Amino acid sequence: MRELLVMKNITKKFGDIYANKDINLIIREGEVHTLLGENGAGKSTLMNILIGLYQPTSGSIYYRGKKVKIDSPSKAMKLGIGMVHQHFMLVEAMTVFENIILGVTKDSSIFIKKDRIKKDILELASKYGLNVEIDKPITEISVGEQQRVEILKALYRGAELLILDEPTAALTDIEVEGLFRVIKKLISEKKSVVFISHKMREVLEISDRITILRMGHTIKTLDKNKTNAEELAALMIGKKMVSSKYKKVSKTKENIIALEHISFNKESKHNGIKDISLTVGKGEILGIAGVDGNGQSQLAQVVTGVITPHEGNIYLYGKKVAQFDPNDFINSNISHIPEDRNKMGLIGDMSVKENLILKSIEKSKFSLKKGLFLKKKIINQYSNEMKKKYDIRCSSIDQEVRNLSGGNQQKIVLARELEMEPELLVAVHPTRGLDIGATKYVHDKIISARDKGCGVILISADFDEILKLSDRIAVMFEGQIVGIYSGDNPPIDEISLAMAGKAE
Amino acid sequence: MKNMLIKIFVPVISVLCSFIIGAILITIIGGNPMEAYTYLFKGAFCTPANIGETVIKAVPLIFTGLAATFAYKCGVFNLGGEGQFVMGAVVSIWISTTLKGITGIPLIIISLTLGTIAGGIWGAIPGILKITRGLNEIIVSIMLNYVAILFMGYLYTGPLREGNVPQTASVPVKLGRIFSQSRVHYGIVIALILTLIIYYFLFYTSKGFKLRAVGLNQIASQFNGLPVKKFMLFSFIISGAIAGLGGSVELHGTQFRLMSGFGQGYGFDGVAIALIGQLNPIGTVLVAYLFAILRTGATTMQVGSGMPTSVIDIIQALVIVFAVAGSAFINLPKIRQFFSNVFSKPRKEPL
Amino acid sequence: METVFDIIFIQELLLSTVRMATPILIVALAELYSERAGLVNIGLDGIMTFGALSGFLICYITGNPYLGILAGAISGILINMIYAFCTIHLGAEQIVYGMAINIFAPALASFIYKIYFGISSTLVQATLMKTVPIPILNKIPVLGVVFFNHTPIVYIAYLLVPLTYVFFSKTKLGLNYKAIGEFPKAAESMGINVMLNKYIACIICGILAGIGGAYLTTAYISTYSDGVVAGRGFIALSAVIFGRWMPGGVLLAALLFGFTDALQLRLQVMSSGTPYQLLAMIPYLSTLFVLAFFGIKKAGPKANGKPYFREER
């Protein structure tokens, strides 16, 4: 087979951080080439380079043997590279037809020659088995059909290389089968497909070759027929330090929180949770492992009262929760380190001091008469104490947190949440984007909270972190808990397969 | 500290730039800017009566400015200041001309209170529609301005009309004057006390703190257990109430009766003043006072130097244009980064 | 006798409805073009005022109302470029900027007027645009007078409605344009130049709003005074919402606003005791009612009012 696209020594730096380093990738004509890697392995950066959204820091791209510079999405389109984004780029207020022809300048006519273009599109659609109702508005068609519109959109623009970013993420099983039929059809017509996915079963079913990325590097390109799920999972995750420097404890009898058959948005595999039952005891860390976007955000928001589950019950200290309100959960001594500290945890335009007391300002320690009088002196004193205790590096406690580094921002969240002396701590991606020093600091703090008897739900897409800290490990996949394992000497291979959806 | 500096820097520079452009305009049309500006400030300050006029002009602007500030602090836009101002005055004139048996200070207190409540109710409408129906508060509050103005027009041409001219009767009780030489009334005292209360509320109480938190980041506020929607509605009601009180005070202190043009433009002026004042109650008062100086001095300038008052309108408008552009410019991600790089020590490249 | 009076009354009423709806219609279309590209511009009143002044001035100097209209269009663009730069490039709050325009443009207009005509001049009269009856059609009883005996600007305004409809729903450019107000990121990914289109939107908005203002001083009345626009910009803004962002809907809304305006004026003339203000409230109240009970918000462009920055990291 001929080579369609060659990416040679592609490096992309953001500030001091390498998102991609010396990536080499060869896509042949008429193949399905899978990019496999954990979150943050550099897949999306690489694809954004390919479609002209980012410029590589160094390295070169060859298309059909010619060196090319892709500096805009329209340039990529002209070359024949089309992408179906994970979050569809469809204008909801428009019809399928309108979305497909958007921005296309195939003929010089001012008016849209509806009948003729429609005929072309329908021909194209039937050639690849892409059934779409061409005159319906986007809002009225299913997610699977929306995806077919996206593919059709790319094909109508003459795409020869189609990038599908997590295309099965939002689909039902039947829709996935349909998508695979389309992909096979595309291949038989000499088109090439770059397939991005975490799901081992799908990867093994559809791919011809598989390239594994880890921490911004290309690890290996394998032939589908010469590999298996175990090898791929091991390559993707890398060598794991099984021994953790933290002591693991076994589960105590006393439950702090118990979830019984909790569902939220259960039709959605990626923005919902389905029939989850689990318990967290006093002084243990329950790690929730899983690839991003398998319902972890929703789980975190249910157990902190931000969203109300559609089905099931939650018991706090043995008592059923009647109403879901974040404030009630806070008053029940539940702390939350949310997944996005800038959006959900901190008020960026407020000072370090103000963020530290955000939840506790009305406590008698900081104010009199229900907050009518603030004890400014004590607040300042307390904030300076916290600054020292949690090593928050800022010019003063009056500095706006927006201007602090990620690590220092997270320390503020940590200080606020841990100083409440919680009985349950829900920590979501607590070290995302932090450097090694800050990460270790956060880990130590979580462990010491546990040792004081706090129950911890640790949700993280960073498998190392889960292995290091968890006393028990639950794996989440498509909104469900697919297995619970001991955190002491955990079966790493089994867990990584479960994370990729191969629990059986 | 750095932020405080920028917050003062932007409006001051904007005012300076506006005056410079004003001077250029005056020169172009053959005038002498120094002479014109001298007349301007003479008009605002030379006699106690003039100083008094400036203060009187500042009073309603302080109220609507504070109203806009309060709403904005909670992250909602209240462009309905004018309507709330008018509704406050409408209820006050109705109460004080129809209520029999009560006179003097009790009547003023009742009238001001009911005016405040009326403004609050008028302000609550966009708030309720926003939190229950998700409607854009800007559009709703603008439409309610027109409804209020038309309603006022209906009253002074119809049911509450007195005499041949379309206007209402005069209020039976007026706000007292502080000095004998000028028309300055106790409205300014009410305005300043209110400013301090709002300042105290926003920066020295827990509820004010939470309100600001909601205004700056709704999602984080929700995650941290703050009742976001309640605060939004609350801020709309209070904002409306402040404007309503303003209308009431203007009626009892300065205008005494409703007629065509009452309260015209005060709502938008208030928003502009709040923005130039960097959404700080004290800043709002200062900017309102500046606007009042410009307005009182403009007439003297026109008479003295022959420069049309609209030069001053242009200067006022330019202050807004520059102040808002300045703030937006500083908040651009790139510029923010630039500033924080300038102000913080250079970081060493890690290996 | 009485029936004749009735017919004349109705004819006069409808005639003035059409005339009064015209500036609202033009300016509402201006806003429609702006909002379809995601830019809410509440500065229409300001742009109109400036358009009214420059239209009047040029008309006064040259004696040609058509040049006045042209001047209105050009000055509309100039004023709206302030809004365009600050909202598109600086990402400033659109509402705030619209408001700034509303304060700035009238001040500038008043300044120029006073400089040109002197501070305490009496009302100056300029040439008024003549009506151009459409042959044959204007002979139809009642309808002829109501619809076919106007200035060309009126015909153009009403012609703009179908043209706008065709542009948005039949042409490629119109489709791309709409995408920007709905989902700029998707538009950008399809190779559509978002920034350029937003500027074009501001130019169209400036032209139309400027013409709407100039119409008032060259074809409706022949004088200029401060406050001549009298909130028509905000009425136009309401008309866009009331008309659900569709050209046909906007036309109906403009006619409704024009009709209540006309009726209110007639009633005022007939007897001074009529509470015409209550009548004038109807358009606002009905807009509010429709907004509150029919969830109009999803009808508007999705990315309306939001600043757009190209993705950078």
DSSP string, A283-338: T-EEEEE--SSSSHHHHHHHTTTSS--SEEEEEETTEE-----HHHHHHTTEEEE-
Q: For residue C274, what pLDDT is reported?
A: 67
Closest partner residue to B147 (CB to CB) among C97, C100, C284 is C284
Cα–Cα distance measured from residue A297 to residue A461, given in angstroms and rounded to the nearest whole number = 11
Contact: C179, A105; criterion CB under 8 Å? no
Residue A345 inside a domain? The answer is no
Judged by phi (left if over 0) then psi (alpha if -120 to 50, else beta), residue A295 lies in left
Cα–Cα distance measured from residue A342 to residue A364, given in angstroms and rounded to the nearest whole number = 28
Contact: A359, B209; criterion CB under 8 Å? no
Tokens read off for C280? 């004038």
The verdict on A253 and A108 lying in the same domain is no
The verdict on A22 and A114 lying in the same domain is yes
Q: For residue C5, what pLDDT is reported?
A: 61
Q: For residue B194, what pLDDT is reported?
A: 97
Cα–Cα distance measured from residue B323 to residue A378, given in angstroms and rounded to the nearest whole number = 36
Cα–Cα distance measured from residue C83 to residue C193, given in angstroms and rounded to the nearest whole number = 19
Cα–Cα distance measured from residue B186 to residue B252, given in angstroms and rounded to the nearest whole number = 10
Residue C312 inside a domain? The answer is no
Proportion of chain C above pLDDT 70, given as a percent = 93
Could you tell me which residue, A223 or A500, shows the higher pLDDT? A223
Residue A139 DSSP SS3: helix
End-to-end CA distance of chain B: 33
Residue C67 inside a domain? The answer is yes
Among A261-270, B88-97, C182-191, which stretch is predicted with the lowest mean pLDDT?
A: A261-270
Residue A341 inside a domain? The answer is no
Contact: C103, B317; criterion CB under 8 Å? yes
Q: Do C88 and C34 meet the contact criterion of CB atoms below 8 Å apart?
A: no
Contact: B321, C100; criterion CB under 8 Å? yes
Proportion of chain B above pLDDT 70, given as a percent = 93
Give how far B83 is from chain C: nearest CA, Å: 13
How do residues C242-263 score in pLDDT, each as one tens digit? 888 999 999 999 998 898 888 8
Contacts of B213 in chain A (CB under 8 A): 347, 350, 354, 358
CATH number of the domain bearing residue A189: 3.40.50.300
Q: Do B223 and B213 meet the contact criterion of CB atoms below 8 Å apart?
A: no
The residues facing A28 across adjacent strands are: A3
Residue C65 inside a domain? The answer is yes
DSSP classification of residue A196: E
Q: Do A255 and A315 meet the contact criterion of CB atoms below 8 Å apart?
A: yes
Q: Do C36 and C176 meet the contact criterion of CB atoms below 8 Å apart?
A: no
Residue A157 inside a domain? The answer is yes
Average confidence (pLDDT) over A456-474? 89
Give how far B221 is from chain A: nearest CA, Å: 8
Residue C8 inside a domain? The answer is yes
**How many CB pairs (< 8 A) connect B and C?**
126
Cα–Cα distance measured from residue A86 to residue A148, given in angstroms and rounded to the nearest whole number = 13
The angle that helices B104-133 and B81-98 make with each other, rounded to 10 degrees, is 140
Which structural domain, as residue segments, surrounds residue A435?
241-333+421-504
Closest partner residue to B213 (CB to CB) among A304, A331, A350 is A350
- List the single residue in B with minimal CA-CA distance to C237: B139
Q: For residue C4, what pLDDT is reported?
A: 54
Give the sign of the dihedral formed by CA A196, CA A200, CA A201, CA A203. positive
Residue C308 inside a domain? The answer is no
Which structural domain, as residue segments, surrounds residue C50?
2-299
Residue A107 inside a domain? The answer is yes
End-to-end CA distance of chain C: 78
**Which residue type is seen at C204?**
I
Chain A contacts in chain C segment 143-202 (CB below 8 A): 170-173, 175-176, 178-179, 182-183, 185-192
Q: For residue C18, what pLDDT is reported?
A: 92
- Out of A360, A391, A420, pick the residue that ends a domain: A420
Q: For residue A491, what pLDDT is reported?
A: 86
Among A65-74, A197-206, B204-213, which stretch is predicted with the lowest mean pLDDT?
A: A197-206
Residue A106 DSSP SS3: coil
Q: Which of C42, C46, C54 is nearest to C104 (CA)?
A: C46
Q: For residue C234, what pLDDT is reported?
A: 87
Contact: C107, B310; criterion CB under 8 Å? yes
Q: For residue B45, what pLDDT is reported?
A: 87
Q: For residue B344, what pLDDT is reported?
A: 47
Could you tell me which residue, C9 or C83, shows the higher pLDDT? C83
CA angle A252, A258, A263 (to 5 degrees): 145
Contact: C104, B318; criterion CB under 8 Å? yes
Among A386-400, B270-284, C71-85, which stretch is predicted with the lowest mean pLDDT?
A: A386-400
Name the band, by pLDDT with cuts 50, 70 and 90, for residue A490.
confident
Contact: C111, B139; criterion CB under 8 Å? no
Contacts of C179 in chain A (CB under 8 A): 91, 94, 102-103
> In sequence order, which residues have a C-beta less than 8 Å from that of residue B38 and are 6 or more positions away?
none
- List the single residue in A with minimal CA-CA distance to C186: A89
Contact: A350, B216; criterion CB under 8 Å? yes
Name the band, by pLDDT with cuts 50, 70 and 90, for residue B57.
very high
Cα–Cα distance measured from residue A478 to residue B139, given in angstroms and rounded to the nearest whole number = 42
Contact: B223, A350; criterion CB under 8 Å? no
Q: For residue B347, what pLDDT is reported?
A: 39
The verdict on A315 and A223 lying in the same domain is no
Task: Compute the radius of gyration of chain C from its Cα atoms.
Answer: 20
Neighbours of chain C (3+ CB pairs under 8 A): A, B
**Which residue type is seen at C185?**
K
Q: Which of C95, C306, C206, C103 is nearest to B321 (CA)?
A: C103
Tokens read off for A145? 């059909």
The verdict on A281 and A367 lying in the same domain is no
The verdict on A181 and A268 lying in the same domain is no
Q: For residue B350, what pLDDT is reported?
A: 34
Q: For residue A152, what pLDDT is reported?
A: 94
Contact: A330, B226; criterion CB under 8 Å? no
Establish how many alpha carbons lie within 13 A of residue B33's alpha carbon, considering only the half-sphere containing its beta carbon: 14
Q: For residue B349, what pLDDT is reported?
A: 34
The yes-or-no verdict on residue C84 having pLDDT over 90 is yes
The verdict on A224 and A110 lying in the same domain is yes
Highest mean pLDDT among A197-206, A388-397, C5-14, C25-34: C25-34
How do residues A408-456 score in pLDDT, each as one tens digit? 899 999 999 999 889 999 999 998 877 777 888 899 999 999 999 899 9
CATH number of the domain bearing residue C55: 1.10.3470
Task: Give the number of residues written for chain B.
Answer: 351
The yes-or-no verdict on residue B188 having pLDDT over 60 is yes
Which is it for strands C132-133 and C149-150: parallel, antiparallel or unpaired?
Answer: antiparallel
In degrees rounded to 5, what are phi and psi of residue B303? -70, -45
Cα–Cα distance measured from residue A131 to residue A122, given in angstroms and rounded to the nearest whole number = 9
Q: Which of B74, B71, B68, B4 is nearest to B320 (CA)?
A: B68
**Which residue type is seen at C7?**
I
Residue A139 inside a domain? The answer is yes
- List the single residue in A with minimal CA-CA distance to C179: A91
Give how far C52 is from chain B: nearest CA, Å: 17
Cα–Cα distance measured from residue A47 to residue A7, given in angstroms and rounded to the nearest whole number = 11
The yes-or-no verdict on residue C217 having pLDDT over 50 is yes
Contact: B308, C295; criterion CB under 8 Å? no
CA angle C43, C46, C51 (to 5 degrees): 125
Q: For residue C298, what pLDDT is reported?
A: 55
Q: Which of B52, B111, B127 is nearest to B245 (CA)?
A: B111
Chain A contacts in chain C segment 23-82 (CB below 8 A): none
Contact: C176, A103; criterion CB under 8 Å? yes
Cα–Cα distance measured from residue B172 to residue B152, given in angstroms and rounded to the nearest whole number = 19
Contacts of C170 in chain A (CB under 8 A): 111-112
Give the sign of the dihedral formed by CA C154, CA C156, CA C157, CA C161. positive
Proportion of chain A above pLDDT 90, given as a percent = 43
In degrees rounded to 5, what are phi and psi of residue A417? -75, -35
Residue A340 inside a domain? The answer is no
In degrees rounded to 5, what are phi and psi of residue B185? -115, 175
Average confidence (pLDDT) over B328-339? 68
Q: Which of B93, B141, B132, B138 is nearest to B114 (CA)?
A: B93
The verdict on A229 and A254 lying in the same domain is no
The three-state (H, E, C) secondary structure of chain B, written as one string: CHHHHHHHHHHHHHHHHHHHHHHHHHHHCCCCHHHHHHHHHHHHHCCHHHHHHHHHHHHHHHHHHHHHHHHHHCCCCCCCHHHHHHHHHHHHHHHHHHCCCCCHHHHHHHHHHHHHHHHHHHHHHHHHHHHHHCCCHHHHHHHHHHHHHHHHHHHHHCCCECCCCCEECCCCCCCCECCCCCCCECHHHHHHHHHHHHHHHHHHCHHHHHHHHHHHCHHHHHHCCCCHHHHHHHHHHHHHHHHHHHHHHHHHHHHCCCECCCCCCHHHHHHHHHHHCCCCHHHHHHHHHHHHHHHHHHHHHHHHHCCCCHHHHHHHHHHHHHHHHHHHHHHCHHHHHHHHHHHCCCCCCCC
Among A131-140, A359-368, B258-267, which stretch is predicted with the lowest mean pLDDT?
A: A359-368
Residue C304 inside a domain? The answer is no
Contacts of C272 in chain B (CB under 8 A): 157
Q: For residue B109, what pLDDT is reported?
A: 93
Interface test with A, best of B204, B224, B338 (most A CBs within 10 A): B224
Question: Is the predicted ipTM greater than 0.90, yes or no?
Answer: no
Proportion of chain A above pLDDT 70, given as a percent = 98
C310 in contact with chain A, both atoms CB, cutoff 8 A:
no
Q: For residue A240, what pLDDT is reported?
A: 59
The verdict on A199 and A260 lying in the same domain is no
The yes-or-no verdict on residue A504 having pLDDT over 60 is no
Q: Which residue has the tokens 């400033």?
A: C92
Residue A342 inside a domain? The answer is no
The three-state (H, E, C) secondary structure of chain C, written as one string: CHHHHHHHHHHHHHHHHHHHHHHHHHHHHHHHHHHHCCCCCCCHHHHHHHHHHHHHHHHHHHCCHHHHHHHHHHHHHHHHHHHHHHHHHCCCCHHHHHHHHHHHHHHHHHHHHHHHHCCCCCCCCCCCCCCEECCCHHHCCCHHHHHCEECHHHHHHHHHHHHHHHHHHHEHHHHHHHHHHHCHHHHHHCCCCHHHHHHHHHHHHHHHHHHHHHHHHHHHCCCCCCCCCCCHHHHHHHHHHHCCCCHHHHHHHHHHHHHHHHHHHHHHHHCCCCCHHHHHHHHHHHHHHHHHHHCHHHHCCCCCCCCCCCCCC
Q: How many independent structural domains does chain C possess?
A: 1
The yes-or-no verdict on residue A35 having pLDDT over 50 is yes
The yes-or-no verdict on residue A342 having pLDDT over 90 is no
The yes-or-no verdict on residue B183 having pLDDT over 80 is yes
The yes-or-no verdict on residue B346 having pLDDT over 80 is no
The verdict on A186 and A77 lying in the same domain is yes
Residue A17 DSSP SS3: strand
The yes-or-no verdict on residue B1 having pLDDT over 60 is no
The verdict on A211 and A276 lying in the same domain is no
- List the single residue in C with minimal CA-CA distance to B29: C115
The verdict on A150 and A281 lying in the same domain is no
The verdict on A297 and A189 lying in the same domain is no
Q: For residue C296, what pLDDT is reported?
A: 56
Average confidence (pLDDT) over A455-472? 89
Tokens read off for B131? 């939190």
CA dihedral C240, C241, C246, C252 (to 10 degrees): -70
Residue A455 inside a domain? The answer is yes
Q: How many independent structural domains does chain A possess?
A: 3
**Mean pLDDT (chain A, rounded):** 87
How do residues C52-72 score in pLDDT, each as one tens digit? 999 999 999 999 999 999 999
Q: For residue C312, what pLDDT is reported?
A: 45
- List the single residue in A with minimal CA-CA distance to B215: A347
- List the single residue in A with minimal CA-CA distance to C175: A102
Contacts of B212 in chain A (CB under 8 A): 350
How do residues B277-329 score in pLDDT, each as one tens digit? 989 999 999 999 999 999 999 989 988 888 888 888 899 889 988 888 887 77
Q: For residue A194, what pLDDT is reported?
A: 94
The yes-or-no verdict on residue A183 having pLDDT over 90 is yes
Q: For residue A383, what pLDDT is reported?
A: 92
